[in-house]
Structures are given as C-alpha cells and as structure tokens.
C-alpha cells in the first residue's frame, strides 16, 4: 500500500529523517511511535505530500508521491497534529469546502456529509462555528475532514493529544471501526494507546526506524522489561543483606524513606516467579514488605531495550543520556 524507501529529510544541518525504510500493508492499523522530535510528523508530512523529502521515495499504491501527487493525495486522508480548521466557518460549511477541494461529486455531497457527521458524532454541532467548539469537537471535525471521500489510507498525527479520557476512548473506538475498511497510520508517543489500537508498531528514533514489529511481539518485549518497586520495613543494611542473597539481581537502587522504611527499585526483566522469590527472601529475614509493584516500562525504556541490541550498541550511550 505505502512503500517508504530510503527517506532522508534535512532541515539545514539537522537530519530529521535518516534513511527511513518501511512498508505499510493494506487493512491494518499502524502505530508510528517515537519521542517528540523523533521524526513522526515529518514522515507523515512527506507521505501526504505536504513537504518534500531531501532524498528517497514514497510510493502510494505503486505511485510516486512526487510524480503523481494528485493520484496519491486522492487516496490519503490526513489529520495533522493541529487540525487544519477554518474557524470562521461552521462545521457543515467546512466539510462542504473540503469536499469541493477533494473533488467529491456534487450529487453525493449532501449524503456524504450526513455519513461523516454520523460517523464522528458531530450532528448536534453541525451548524456551529468551529471557533466556538471545544478541543474534542475540533479534533472530530479534523477527523471528519480526513475521512472525506473515504480514502483508502487514513493518516492521523497524534489524534488523541489534548482530549479528555472519555473523548480519547471514543476516538480510539472510532479508529478501530475505521480499520475495518481503511488502512490507518497513527502516530503517538503513548505506548498504551498504540498497544490498544494498532496491529503493527513502527518505532522511530532520531529519524531512524529502530523497530517494526506486530503489537503482540512488541508487548512481549515490554512485558519482559519491568521494574519492581518495594517498600521494606527495615534498615538499609538489613535490606541490602537480603538482596545480596538473591542470585538473579544485576543491580538495584535503595533509598531510606522515613524511620525504618526502605524504598528499593530493582530493574531487570523479572517475572512473577522473581517476585515470589523476593517475598520469601524478605519473609525469611523477618522484614515486612509493605508494598510491591511491578511497573511496566515506559516507551523510553523500550527504546533502551531496543537500543541495547548488539547492532545498535554504539548508539546506546547517547540514547541513555537523552533519556536521562
């Protein structure tokens, strides 16, 4: 469906995209994951033809974005990071304008507007000026704009940023519905969101693709990278003594909280079995575990995990610095 080959984008001396390669297949939801400034928006802007790449090609259904822009743009609906709304128009006027510039036949425009308003639940605000709508509604108008003409590919740049939890749930539901008929690419820096909505995850870091895996594979990787947090009723020395008897610990952090409480953070890929062993070890030493949490790692930790793979070892140090 979409082939991105050797994409490079430079802003002056800054390299935003560094030989990016990936393929998007039909009928799946793709999550483009990365920290701020990783190159997610740049990638999307190039695929949609908003900006040009320094080198490399993007093919949409076999057609080059540069050589046949009209053909490729017709197949893509795009919701940029900031919804491109003319705030002095009403929702209905705005959608008819988008239909005109996307060359939707006059006869079906009326019907299509109704479909769109129903789909993104905008019926009750259809006559209102976009200026007066809340952020959530504006986002939906932006989404409706991207869906005009039911394009084969829908590209959404951080579609849930700034929305309240209820709206986030609704938008995610909508995206899942869309996936039944469309190929969806969305970007996000929230791992949980991507995990919930996407079939496939692409991780971009500093303009490079560092992982492209199905969500299940990715989640297995995340689950294995956990941090265990403990609060122990005991002194530092006592706690350290117990931890010393545990054979499988690479390293830990220990801090004295209030009188007689210790907070311990153990980082590594440990499972439920490890937590049981911890419990028993502290029980034997007669130290009470007041609290024990297994915290799933954040996106940055997944980055570290990915970076720690041998082929990327050279960059690891740099990334660690950035994350800290």
How far apart are CB 278 and other proteins at their closest, in Å?
Answer: 51
Here the tokens at position 310 are 């041998």
Distance CA 156, CA 31 (A): 10
- Among the listed ranges 72-80, 106-114, 189-197, 223-231, the one in contact with other proteins (CB under 8 A) is 72-80
How far apart are CB 91 and other proteins at their closest, in Å?
Answer: 15
How far apart are CB 99 and other proteins at their closest, in Å?
Answer: 9
Q: By C-beta, is 103 or 111 nearer to other proteins?
A: 103
Q: Residues in the chain, how many?
A: 324
How far apart are CB 54 and other proteins at their closest, in Å?
Answer: 8
Torsion over CA: 56, 82, 139, 91 (sign): negative
> Measured between alpha carbons, how far is residue 178 from residues 11, 25, 45, 89 in Å?
34, 15, 21, 26
Q: Among 19, 73, 119, 320, which residue sits at the site for other proteins (rule: CB under 8 A)? A: 73
Q: Among 51, 108, 283, 288, which residue sits at the site for other proteins (rule: CB under 8 A)? A: 51
Distance CA 274, CA 280 (A): 10
Within the chain, what is the greatest distance between any pair of CA atoms? 80
Here the tokens at position 142 are 């932006």
Q: By C-beta, is 95 or 191 nearer to other proteins?
A: 95
Q: By C-beta, is 66 or 313 nearer to other proteins?
A: 66
Provide the CB-side half-sphere exposure for 9 (13 A, CA): 25
Q: Is 162 in the site for other proteins (CB under 8 A)?
A: no
Q: Among 3, 63, 84, 254, which residue sits at the site for other proteins (rule: CB under 8 A)? A: 84
Q: Is 80 in the site for other proteins (CB under 8 A)?
A: yes
Number of residues that bind other proteins (CB under 8 A): 28
Classify residue 99 as exposed, middle or buried by CB count within 10 Å of its CB (0-12, 13-18, 19+).
buried
Q: Is 98 in the site for other proteins (CB under 8 A)?
A: yes
- Among the listed ranges 48-56, 164-172, 202-210, 301-309, the one in contact with other proteins (CB under 8 A) is 48-56
Q: By C-beta, is 157 or 301 nearer to other proteins?
A: 157
- Among the listed ranges 24-32, 76-84, 180-188, 192-200, the one in contact with other proteins (CB under 8 A) is 76-84
Q: Among 30, 78, 137, 282, which residue sits at the site for other proteins (rule: CB under 8 A)? A: 78
Q: Is 145 in the site for other proteins (CB under 8 A)?
A: yes
Give the CA radius of gyration of the chain. Answer: 24
Helices (H), the chain: 40-47, 69-74, 91-101, 106-119, 135-147, 165-178, 191-197, 215-224, 236-245, 272-284, 299-307, 313-323
Q: What are phi and psi of 114, to 5 degrees?
A: -60, -45
Beta bridge partners of 10: 15
Q: What are phi and psi of 105, to 5 degrees?
A: -55, 140
Q: Is 67 in the site for other proteins (CB under 8 A)?
A: no
Q: Is 76 in the site for other proteins (CB under 8 A)?
A: yes
How far apart are CB 151 and other proteins at their closest, in Å?
Answer: 10
Binding site for other proteins (CB under 8 A): 11, 45, 48-52, 69-70, 73-74, 76, 78, 80, 82, 84-89, 97-98, 100-103, 145
């Amino acid at each position: 469906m979409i082939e991105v080959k050797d994409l490079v984008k430079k802003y002056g001396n800054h390299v935003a995209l560094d030989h990016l390669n990936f393929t998007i297949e039909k009928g799946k939801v793709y999550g483009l994951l990365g920290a701020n400034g990783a190159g997610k928006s740049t990638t999307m802007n190039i695929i949609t033809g908003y900006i040009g790449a320094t080198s490399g090609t993007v093919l949409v259904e076999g057609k080059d974005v540069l050589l046949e822009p009209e053909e490729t743009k017709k197949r893509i609906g795009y919701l940029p990071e900031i919804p491109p709304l003319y705030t002095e128009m009403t929702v209905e006027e705005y959608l008819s304008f988008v239909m005109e510039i996307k060359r939707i036949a006059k006869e079906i425009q009326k019907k299509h507007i109704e479909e769109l308003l129903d789909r993104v639940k905008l019926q009750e605000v259809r006559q209102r000026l976009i200026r007066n709508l809340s952020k959530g509604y504006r986002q939906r108008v932006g989404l409706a704009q991207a869906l005009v003409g039911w394009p084969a590919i829908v590209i959404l740049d951080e579609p849930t940023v700034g929305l309240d939890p209820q709206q986030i749930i609704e938008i995610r539901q909508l995206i899942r519905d869309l996936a039944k008929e469309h190929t969806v690419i969305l970007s996000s820096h929230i791992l949980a969101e991507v995990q919930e909505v996407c079939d496939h995850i692409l991780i971009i870091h500093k303009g490079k693709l560092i992982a492209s895996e199905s969500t299940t594979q990715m989640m297995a990787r995340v689950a294995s990278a956990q941090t265990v947090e403990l609060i122990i009723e005991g002194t530092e020395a006592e706690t350290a003594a117990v931890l010393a008897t545990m054979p499988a610990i690479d390293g830990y952090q220990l801090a004295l909280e209030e009188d007689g409480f210790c907070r311990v953070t153990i980082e590594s890929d440990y499972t439920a079995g490890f937590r049981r062993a911890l419990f028993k070890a502290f029980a034997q030493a007669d130290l009470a575990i007041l609290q024990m949490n297994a915290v799933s790692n954040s996106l940055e930790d997944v980055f570290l995990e990915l970076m720690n793979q041998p082929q990327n070892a050279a960059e690891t140090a740099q990334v660690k610095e950035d994350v800290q």
